[in-house]
């Protein structure tokens, strides 16, 4: 599914919905192009009544691996994509402010 077809689908569901606040959650990894994903969506945030935007990685917390002698704890990696998406979103000129996480 392309970004544009996703926008069209979501817009059609919002057309018949009440004007309840909407939170957009993006779970993206390094193989996505944030500019191409966010561009079509950003044109519709006012009509969709978007109030919050969340950019998250696939792994939400640390992972642990235990061997007989050690405990290895790894933090999520690959947050560059989420940071880039956050920069693109917060750099756009919207009529209202959003909570961006």
Structural domain count of the chain: 1
The residues that bridge with 27 in the sheet, in sequence order, are: 56
DSSP state of 32: S
Contact criterion met (CB below 8 Å) for 52 and 86? no
pLDDT at 39 over 80: yes
- 42 or 63, greater pLDDT: 42
Q: Say what the pTM is.
A: 0.66
State the residue for tokens 């109030």: 51
Rg, Å, the chain Cα set: 17
pLDDT band at 68 (very low <50, low <70, confident <90, very high): confident
Phi, psi of 58 (to 5 degrees): -70, -35
Greatest C-alpha distance within the chain:
59
Domain of 46 in residue numbering reads as 3-64+71-100
What is the model's pLDDT at position 2?
66
């Amino acid at each position: 599914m392309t970004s544009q077809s996703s926008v069209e689908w979501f817009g059609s569901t919002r057309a018949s919905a009440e004007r309840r606040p909407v939170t957009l959650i993006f779970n993206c990894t390094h193989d996505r192009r944030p500019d191409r994903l966010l561009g079509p969506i950003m044109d519709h945030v006012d009509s969709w009544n978007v109030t919050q935007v969340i950019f998250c990685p696939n792994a939400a917390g640390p992972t642990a691996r235990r061997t007989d002698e050690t405990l290895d704890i790894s933090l999520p990696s690959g947050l560059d994509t989420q940071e880039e998406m956050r920069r693109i979103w917060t750099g756009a000129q919207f009529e209202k402010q959003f909570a961006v996480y």
